[in-house]
Chain A
Amino acid sequence: AQTVTQSQPEMSVQEAETVTLSCTYDTSENNYYLFWYKQPPSRQMILVIRQEAYKQQNATENRFSVNFQKAAKSFSLKISDSQLGDTAMYFCAFMSPNAGNMLTFGGGTRLMVKP
């Protein structure tokens, strides 16, 4: 079974600064996908970024980038130029095609962007 751990329950960052959210996972699979989801107070789950395990290059989506360390089973999210609208819960998630494509979520990190 897969497990996903987010060790930072809460974080804060000043507007326009950079923040990194941590995530580690445990799996015996070799083929899998990792995701970061954002859940603002509206409770809508929004896909932020995806990383395929077979790709060495770290995924980037505008101000969001990841640091994927496969050997260390680490998958952190960096948010650059933080904006007030980035305030939300952030969930790290794992998916394996060999496990029915279900998502296993970490416990979440609450990010507050301060003006």
Chain B
Amino acid sequence: SAVISQKPSRDICQRGTSLTIQCQVDSQVTMMFWYRQQPGQSLTLIATANQGSEATYESGFVIDKFPISRPNLTFSTLTVSNMSPEDSSIYLCSVEEGYEQYFGPGTRLTVT
């Protein structure tokens, strides 16, 4: 299965600032996904990022708040903009291979 890394692994940010999370895969993949896991909760899909097209956002998530880039088949970024304490979560990227999804280690974001 693909090996996925994320940077940063954790961060503490001030309210009103933005943070960009990077997701790197060791092989070329078509579909990448970004999920949010709020404290003590399950995972919720933010958006699907396919190379060469605009990201597709799920209900409740908008591009102005969570802009996503997908410049090539091995890399994607998620930006959390104008952060508030409610954005404190774990953010995970995943890739699909053969109808299975594999996850990165996650980025733990705390907004103060």
Q: Would you call A106 and B42 a contact (CB within 8 A)?
A: yes
Q: Would you call A102 and B45 a contact (CB within 8 A)?
A: yes
Which residues in B have their C-beta under 8 angstroms from that of A37? 103
Q: Would you call A43 and B101 a contact (CB within 8 A)?
A: no
Which residues in A have their C-beta under 8 angstroms from that of B101? 35, 47, 95, 101, 103
CA distance A22 to B103 in the complex (A): 23
Q: Does B81 contact A (CB under 8 A)?
A: no
**How many A residues have CB within 8 A of the partner chain?**
22
CA distance A19 to B96 in the complex (A): 29
Closest to A92 in B: B42
Q: Would you call B45 and A44 a contact (CB within 8 A)?
A: no
Closest to A101 in B: B96
Min CB gap A115→B, angstroms: 25
| Further 7 A-B residue pairs, CB within 8 A, beyond A44-B103, A45-B94, A47-B102 | A37-B103, A43-B90, A43-B108, A47-B101, A100-B56, A104-B45, A105-B43
CA distance A107 to B35 in the complex (A): 14
Which residues in B have their C-beta under 8 angstroms from that of A107? 41-42
Q: Which residues of A in the span 26-61 have a Cβ within 8 Å of any Cβ on B?
A: 33, 35, 37, 42-45, 47, 50, 52
Q: Would you call B45 and A45 a contact (CB within 8 A)?
A: no
- Interface contact tally, CB-CB below 8 A: 55
Chief secondary structure at chain B's binding surface = strand
CA distance A42 to B94 in the complex (A): 16
Q: Would you call B92 and A45 a contact (CB within 8 A)?
A: yes
Q: Would you call A47 and B100 a contact (CB within 8 A)?
A: yes
Q: Does A91 contact B (CB under 8 A)?
A: yes
CA distance A33 to B56 in the complex (A): 21
Q: Would you call B42 and A103 a contact (CB within 8 A)?
A: no
CA distance A97 to B106 in the complex (A): 25
Closest to B33 in A: A102
CA distance A91 to B43 in the complex (A): 9
Which residues in B have their C-beta under 8 angstroms from that of A108? 42
Min CB gap B76→A, angstroms: 15
Q: Would you call A45 and B100 a contact (CB within 8 A)?
A: no
